[in-house]
Amino acid sequence: MQQTESFRQTITAGYTFEGPSFVLGGAMLGEEAQRDTLVRIPLGTLNRHGLIAGATGTGKTKTLQIIAEQLSREGVPSLLMDIKGDLSGIAVPGNDHPKIDERHAAIGIPFAAAGSPVELLSLSDEPGARLRATVLEFGPVLFSKMLDLNDTQSGIIAVAFKYAEDEGLPLLDLKDLRKVLQYMTNEGKEAAEKEYGRISTASVGAIMRRVVELEGQGAEKFFGERSFEVEDLVRLDDRGRGVVSIVRLTDVQDRPKLFSTFMLQLLAEIYATFPEEGDLDRPKLMVFIDEAHLVFEEATDALLDQLEAIIKLIRSKGVGLIFVTQNPADIPSDVLGQLGLKVQHALRAFTAKDRKAIKLASENYPLSEFYDIDQTLTELGTGEAFVTALDRKGRPTPLVRTLLRAPESRMDVLTDREISSLVSGSPLARKYNEEVDRESAYEILEKKLERARTEEHQAKMEEQRKQAQKTSTGSTRRRGRPRQEKSMLEDIMSSTMSRQIGRTVAREVTRGILGILGIRRRR
């Protein structure tokens, strides 16, 4: 009894805060929930980021759903990455169930079914408002890091961006960038190298292969217009509830590079756009990254460095990140060390490696006189978790085994009809699903090359015409005055043999005439 009272006092003192908070669940000592000993999460420190971890089937997704809908009720918008496609149910109220009533009775709070205002977003062909960004918005540094380029290749990307800027060539999608690189190493090579220095064709070829690889993961649908404005993530409905924006990513699981690229660009855009906020009583926006290992496993070293830098800095913008994954080891240690809220569901120990992982995971949490953390981690039931947060002074709250409240919204996906209705009534879907393909670098260079080909063809035709005219003029001069043809007699007389024969015939004729006249030749 004394331990129970000490436990209740410790938890009540550790989870009572000044300022807004919400109830995550009820504290448990051993296997029993302590009614009315509530585990609250302070809103003021959620921008210090968080982690929801645990083995498959232990309730991570439902915990995400609980936190998002409670934040919405408190007027905090959130952005959810729906990898498995089971988060859309947050848009409609859940259903009563005896087990839900039993759970809430054990915690000491009532259950009230309710849905949250939801906006569906999409990176691909899933229903929802399309998320896009232009190549130009990435910038040469971020784009090079995304492709894991070396220094030489990164320099070429920087030159390509500068060349496009100087020549008035908007870089909107990937075909624009490819066209600029092709032009700089072919038709425009001489001018480009004169202005910016020599450009290695081999390096450009390597860059093009990286771009093609990115296109193979569907990035051509992500790069382009109309660009998504991150301010549209920070919205409240007419009742003052935060809008829950859900990015449907069920068809992106096998394209992790596209996912990590999207996350990096989104966080970079939020950091660049949102003003400095200082300490707020509640976050301006919460971002939940489900299956977070997809971001970190496939990210290049340069990309990881960029992510870690943004994670450290973005909290000053009033933005909090919560990573959802199976094991805390999936998160880089530099990131894990910055996380304030930690919700650890059960871990399973089937091998020696698993036991070592559990031992390592237990060291991420504050020591507790009430729990054998290593052992309890393997005994947590579905919908139970170890919880610790940060108070307003940045101190960790006591580690507490928590019986989590049930989600107020549906714990299942929406039907196709419900999704269609949600999207058709969305102003963001009407805004961002409009096809925009304005003239950009690709079209401008194609027209330039077409003009050059036309001018070259016309020049060749003109040269051929002049050559033909010159040939015709020379022939006319050689003909000059028409020469009269000789008669047959003249032809005969002009011949040497003909002249000789003519003289012989004339001589004999003369002799005959003289004979007839009786005139003898003088001997």
- Residue 70 φ then ψ, to 5°: -70, -35
226: preceding bond cis by omega (within 30 degrees): yes
* Burial annotation 382-404 (CB, 10 A radius, 16+ → b, else e): ebbbbbbbbbeeeeebbbbbbbb
Q: DSSP of 47-99, one letter per residue?
A: GG-EEEE--TTSSHHHHHHHHHHHHHHTT--EEEEESSS--GGGGSB----HH
Please, what is the Cα angle at 81 between 75 and 82, to 5 degrees?
A: 110
The CATH number corresponding to 2-132+225-392+402-414 among 2.40.30.10, 3.40.50.150, 3.40.50.300, 3.40.309.10 equals: 3.40.50.300
Hey, which residues does 39 pair with through a beta bridge? 25
Q: How many CB atoms lie within 10 A of CB 196?
A: 17
pLDDT tens by residue, the chain, 523 residues: 688 999 999 999 999 998 899 999 999 998 999 999 999 999 999 999 999 999 888 999 999 999 999 999 999 999 998 877 788 899 999 988 999 999 999 999 999 999 999 999 988 778 889 888 888 888 888 888 778 888 899 999 999 999 899 888 888 888 899 999 998 888 888 888 888 888 888 999 999 998 888 888 777 788 888 888 999 999 999 999 999 999 988 766 667 667 777 777 888 889 889 999 878 899 999 999 888 877 777 666 766 777 788 888 898 999 999 999 988 888 888 888 888 999 999 988 778 877 888 888 888 788 889 999 988 999 999 999 999 999 988 899 999 999 999 999 998 888 889 999 999 888 899 889 887 777 777 788 778 777 766 766 677 777 777 777 777 666 555 555 554 545 544 554 454 444 554 554 445 444 444 444 444 444 4
Structural domain spans, the chain: 2-132+225-392+402-414, 135-221+439-451
Q: Is the pTM of this model over 0.85?
A: no
Give per-residue burial for 85-109: e unless 16+ CB within 10 Å, then b: ebbbbbbbebeeeeebeebbebbeb
Residue whose C-alpha is closest to residue 48's, from 396, 338, 419: 338
The continuous run of DSSP H or E covering 489 comes out as helix 488-494
pLDDT at 519: 44
How far is it, in rounded angstroms, from Cα 142 to Cα 371?
45
Residues with Cβ < 8 Å from 521, sequence gap 6 or more? 514
126-129 contacts: CB < 8 A, separation 24 or more? 126/248, 126/249, 126/250, 126/251, 127/248, 127/419, 127/420, 127/423, 128/246, 128/247, 128/248, 128/423, 128/426, 128/429, 129/228, 129/423, 129/426, 129/428, 129/429, 129/431, 129/432, 129/433
